Amino acid sequence: MNSLTNTSKLRSGDARAPAPLPPLPLRIMIVNDDLAIRLRLADLLTPHCPGAVIDSCSRSAAVGLGARLREYTAAIVITDMAPAGPGEDPLAIVANLRSQSRALIVTVIGRGGHERSAVDALRAGAADYWALHNVDARELVGFLRAQFLSTSLGMPGAAGETGPFIAGYRLVKELARSTQATLYLAHSDELDQPVAIKVHRHHERAESSDEEQERFLRECRLLSQLNHRAIADVYDFGVTDECHWLAMEYFPCGSLKARLQNPVAEPEAIAYALQVGAALKVVHAAGIVHRDLKPSNIMLRADDSIALIDFGLARPTIGSSDLTAPNVRVGSPSYMAPEQVQGTPPDARCDLYALGVLLYELLTGELPFRGTTIAAMLDQHLHAPVPVLPEPLKRYQPIIERLLAKKPEQRFDSADGFLEALAEAGGDPPARRKSR
């Protein structure tokens, strides 16, 4: 493994990020056989954990620490996920370190892994896994702080540090944040397993009326009754003085958005699209419109099956102020149907339009409509013609045309029609398209 400088996009945090958090008595051991890599990571972590002690050593030296390992709060193991030789396990050191110190918080930073690497690391005993190219130093330190507070200080969920207090759950770290909600990794006391909790804080909204809370609870009940593998399992939900929240299945393999960072084979693209279509069929039959279908809301399991999350429990809106306000992070406009752009209440056909955007992206690696600003992108949805697929993919053009029709009545009437058309067009696609 070469140095982090040459092989990684490891970030020390956004220059505009908040100031480092107050000191905590963390003691961190960085484990890797390359001294340059260890020193590089230590340099990146130091600004975000004032007062902490950061040591480093080789793998063999870490194993040789024995009882002295208990002096450390956490170990960060940087490892090549591909075995160096037959019979070698790159994650064996995780179990070895944990056996010497059960309280040790072990985080794995993996190079050359795949979608199942996170699952493998967690099963080996790691508390968290990061792909080498996607590590954020500030977030990594924040995770270690949260773990330290919730275990060493006995705080149920480390509410002041990580998020609101929700009885029966210990919030571990923040996974994602939008203007309307925050997604956390948490541990369920009842299930004794990791779960994902989506939190809508009341103070982050102008108000939380009885009507809004009742709609939230009604949709949660509907979702919890859905029984389909392509829809995330809902475990629990509720309303507190601080927030309303939803606990659901956790997906350590990440989302389809991350998967799309690399080329997708045509058979894989069709398989993903068929699964999403099947999920929409179930959702629409239950009277639910997703309203925000996009790759980051499609999660992957270890067997490469998908599951939809985030069913528009807080109805997304976008007005003129959203188009001009600076520093507003908006992901949905890339997948927004023309009627949504125009402010018309969406129905199931807006989900089929978003599915058309997704199918085009899966097949080509590009979005069908792009713009340098959100306003320009939305104008493309309203007025631009449907792009033409490359010649090897022309069999799917009629489906793309139907899905991306500007008028809802020109699209498929239901997900059933899409599934039938895609299955018929799929045939025996080529084994793989070339990498971009």
Cβ(194)–Cβ(250) under 8 Å?
yes
Residue 171 is encoded by which pair of tokens?
């919030």
Dist. CA 20–CA 49, nearest whole Å: 7
416 is catalytic: no
**CA distances (Å), origin 193, targets 171, 186, 238:** 12, 9, 19
Amino acid residing at 34: D
Catalytic residue among 128, 236, 292, 310: 292
Dist. CA 307–CA 420, nearest whole Å: 20
Catalytic machinery residues: 292
